[in-house]
Copies of this chain bind each other. A is one copy, B any other.
């Protein structure tokens, strides 16, 4: 089954878009993310979607265009909600608890998108650059980190934004890899507290 919990809900629930277009988007996401973009032929997409190849080209200018249209909602999703919701937490422990839970949920919900994005970013310099800009030019991040340092005295004031991002992404990413990709089923409670502990160790002095 394809995961489309967050990044496509609105578009796919919009009744105005044709049934064929929806089916193509879902089939393409499944095949691109699990078999790879270049390994997936338009013929396979058509079969999986139960439509003809002509239908694909009715709604998408090319196979590349279909890929772009699939990825764009994820980029929007990556920025939204998350950063804004960080300001409400008054202790470092509560903040980290939220981040771990929220980002693991996000990764699980969008796992097919993330696999696809990962594959493409590894081989497409343009997409890599776009992604870099999204992270580094995003002054929101810098400001959020500054506010953290003021709010939570435990945080090492010498940490760079890069180091902060790394301290958070490392433990979360490794756990997500084990659970979502290698199908590891662990004891959520103790695993989460280990992840939290590791993140806080990377942030504090």
Contact = CB atoms under 8 A, between A and B. Distances in A.
A17 interface: no
This chain's copy number in the assembly = 2
B202 A171 contact: yes
A201 B195 CA distance: 10
Nearest to A184: B162
A126 B59 CA distance: 34
Contacts of A34: 123
- Please tell me the size bucket of the interface on A: 35 or more
Contact of A197 (B132, B184, B202): B202
A33 to B, nearest CB: 8
A147 to B, nearest CB: 21
Interface stretch (A8-16, A50-58, A83-91, A173-181): A173-181
A71 interface: no
Contacts of A123: 34-36, 39, 119
Contacts of A197: 201-202
Contact of A191 (B163, B175, B198): B163
Interface string A154-183: 000010101100110111111100100010
Contacts of A172: 170
A94 interface: no
Contact of A39 (B38, B158, B182): B38
A163 B36 contact: no
A186 interface: yes
Interface in A184-199: 184, 186, 190-191, 194, 197-198
Interface in A119-169: 119, 122-123, 132, 158, 160, 162-163, 166-167, 169
Given A166-B178, A198-B198, A198-B201, 5 more contacts: A163-B194, A166-B175, A169-B174, A170-B170, A194-B202
